[in-house]
Amino acid sequence: MTSSAGFLVLITLLAGCASGLQPITHSGVEEAVQDDDSFLSSQSRQKLAGTTGQSGFYMLDSGHEAFLNRAALIEAAEHSIDAQYYIWSNDVSGQYLAGRLLLAADRGVRVRLLLDDFNAEGVGELFAALDTHPNIHIRIFNPARSRSGWGRWVSFLMDFDRINRRMHNKTFVVDSAAGIVGGRNIGDEYFGFDADRYFRDRDVFAAGPVVGGMTDNFQAYWNNSWAYPVSVLYPKAPADGNVAETFERLRRQAGSQAGIPAPADRAQGRAELAKLFGQLTVARGELVFDPPFETMEEPAETPRRSARALQHLAQSASQEILIESAYLILAEEQLQILDMGDRQVLQVSALTNSLATNDLVTNHAGYARWRSFMLEHGIQIYELRPGAEACQQWLKTDGVCSTGQVSLHSKSIVFDRSTLVVGSFNVNLRSIYLNGETLLIIHSEELAEQVASDVQTVMKPRNSWEVSLDDGGDPQWRSGEELHSSEPTVGWWRRTKSRFLSWLPIEKYL
């Protein structure tokens, strides 16, 4: 066979690996379960009695607290659990919460789990087994045809335009009465269980009318034609014996605390939540989400709904915008919208990862490409230090803090110390144009001040470097008396990779 003929055969095989997936037709529209007599509904009514259209909110800044309250919600569930995540890892926290979902399904709770496909390769078999339970239903959003190995990456490349549009939304709703929304995925590194890495993040526990928006968000994706039942993607589901073994293992793990900060039973779960309801801040809030694209061929050239909501808030701000974002890219078009030149009083400050703390060199490179441009336009930028002292407050054990493997993963924005936004939205081009994102907008001076104070603490020299431009227009990093003329505390190879990638105009896809 000639080399050209071999090449044609290879291309045919690769195309075959990538083709074949079409939008799926669901047998019917599944509605959310509504019941005003559940424990969570009762708690919500008591807390919000006398308010008009307001909701209750509580900041989940600690990873352990975020895990505890997810587990408590599962224990309190009486009718339904609807969970939607970009990542659900097959690790200690992921398997523990999966086991708790299984136990909830055993007692009659309807469990629906919707996962984005981009990171689903390692959990497909686990969830294919769970999906065989009569009360558990699992779908995968916007899947690749190939489920594992090199063929999966070929699928991504050959169907790039479709597969590049990800469901980044993260919500967890129980009995349509209370839920959690924010930046955390399900994985050890988000909850402080990983010995090698910690992602500093922020979620919000919410109850009241705003939960209806969280339910609408879930329903829009669950009933979408690109939300594939896991049984379709994994037609060779585990044999009955393997399913029984998987269920037995998950139930056993869920029944063993083993240092996991979770309620031991339903009574303890309800007690934890009753205490949490007593600490809610009552305020006006709204949930904004990006619906799935109507067609995957639709051009991704205009800002999506969540980006437009942030644009409106930014244009209405008169004094201060405080940004906390794991990945940060504001290019020329976005800065024109901010119109900072005509609002001299407006101060815009942003906290993001340094090259030393960013988990993705590619994403840092996209930010570095626009960093000087953002500084020239008056944005104050702070980059997290790997040895940030604040880490000691974030984690109960300092093992990860001492190794420096701590990254910023939170996504919060405070406008004029009166309006707070927490969600899945990174302030970058991917969130603006491509991803499905979720924003919880809270109009509360109390909570806005709380988050602003927390962000500004991390901006202090003991926690971050302030980035500015030197006399030659090049970036420099300062922390107290310490001054660097290149990316601090990283080796030449990581710097070189970041610099090379920053020359490529790929920031929209990072």
416 is catalytic: yes
Compute the distance between CA of residue 434 and CA of residue 304 in angstroms, rounded to an integer.
Answer: 8
What tokens appear for 93 in the block? 């926290």
Q: 472: which residues sit within 8 A by CB, 6+ positions away?
A: none
Q: 392 has which bridge partners?
A: none
Backbone angles phi, psi at 85, to 5 degrees: -145, 150
Which of 131, 159, 175, 203 does the annotation list as catalytic?
175
168 is catalytic: yes
Q: Are 168 and 436 in contact (CB under 8 A)?
A: yes
Q: Give kind and range of the element (H or E) at residue 140.
A: strand 136-141
Compute the distance between CA of residue 129 and CA of residue 246 in angstroms, rounded to an integer.
Answer: 7
Which of 47, 79, 364, 411 does the annotation list as catalytic?
411
91 is catalytic: no
508 is catalytic: no
Report the candidate in 306, 370, 340, 410 with the shortest Cα–Cα distance to residue 510: 370
265 is catalytic: no
How many helices (DSSP H) and strands (DSSP E) are in the chain?
Answer: 20, 20
Which of 79, 137, 168, 364 does the annotation list as catalytic?
168
Which of 91, 416, 460, 497 does the annotation list as catalytic?
416
Q: Which DSSP string do the residues of 437-506 spell out, in sequence order? A: -EEEEEE-HHHHHHHHHHHHHHHSTTTEEEEEE-TTS-EEEEETTEEESS-TT--HHHHHHHHHHHTSS-
CB-count burial class (<10 Å; 0-12, 13-18, 19+) for 59: buried
Backbone angles phi, psi at 88, to 5 degrees: -130, 105
170 is catalytic: yes
Which of 170, 201, 290, 454 does the annotation list as catalytic?
170
Strands 482-484 and 475-479, bridge-based pairing: antiparallel
> Among all residues, which ones are annotated catalytic?
168, 170, 175, 409, 411, 416
